[in-house]
């Protein structure tokens, strides 16, 4: 049961994820969460550092699509200025939006990584699809009200994983 929530990798920030490392794993596309993965959940715009990271991925030929459970108005307002394709109201951890993102990028599941800050949505959804998953530490320690419940459940899951020796990192 816990293996469904176990990410393939854990990083403190998306900025630790380098194009060359992804390419060495055969990764050609990134499906990424938005809120508390790329920017704080209440930040309406991409930071200069994020824009630079996205440009590095683009230069390396790695496609990026944002898949978010948030509403269209939030995701569109963030994505349009930086010209990143997106899927909103994704209903993660269901796999439908992930499959659509993979199809829209013209890739196969083996070519894609899912990056996100939540075990119960991003990691579980990516693992259900059988793609490589990377869990990032949330950008902000505060969350929207919907995410607070998930965080409590995640702490319990992470504690169980630590006790069983499945993970050795701390957030």
φ, ψ for residue 112 (rounded to 5)?
Answer: -120, 150
Q: What is the pTM of this model?
A: 0.89
* Nearest residue to 124 via CA among 27, 6, 31: 6
Give the integer Cα–Cα distance in Å for 106 and 124. Answer: 23
pLDDT along the chain (171 residues), means of 10: 86 97 97 95 91 97 97 96 97 97 98 95 96 92 64 78 76 59
Q: Tell me how far apart the alpha carbons of residues 79 and 90 are, in angstroms, rounded to a whole number.
A: 15
> Three-state DSSP class for 56?
helix
- CATH numbers and ranges of domains, the chain: 2-163 (3.40.50.1000)
């Amino acid at each position: 049961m816990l293996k469904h929530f176990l990410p393939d990798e854990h990083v403190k920030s998306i900025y630790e994820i380098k194009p060359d490392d992804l390419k060495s794993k055969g990764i050609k596309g990134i499906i990424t969460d938005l809120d508390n993965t790329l920017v704080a959940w209440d930040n309406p715009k991409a930071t200069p550092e994020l824009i630079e990271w996205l440009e590095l991925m683009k230069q390396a030929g790695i496609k990026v699509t944002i898949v978010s459970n948030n509403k269209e108005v939030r995701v569109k307002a963030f994505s349009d200025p930086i010209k990143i394709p997106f899927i909103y109201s994704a209903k993660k951890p269901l796999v439908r939006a992930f499959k659509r993102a993979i199809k829209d990028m013209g890739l196969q599941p083996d070519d894609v990584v899912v990056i996100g800050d939540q075990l119960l949505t991003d990691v579980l959804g990516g693992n259900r699809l059988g793609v490589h998953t990377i869990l990032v530490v949330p950008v902000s320690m505060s969350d929207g009200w919907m995410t607070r419940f998930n965080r409590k459940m995640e702490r319990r899951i992470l504690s169980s994983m630590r006790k069983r020796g499945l993970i050795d990192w701390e957030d």
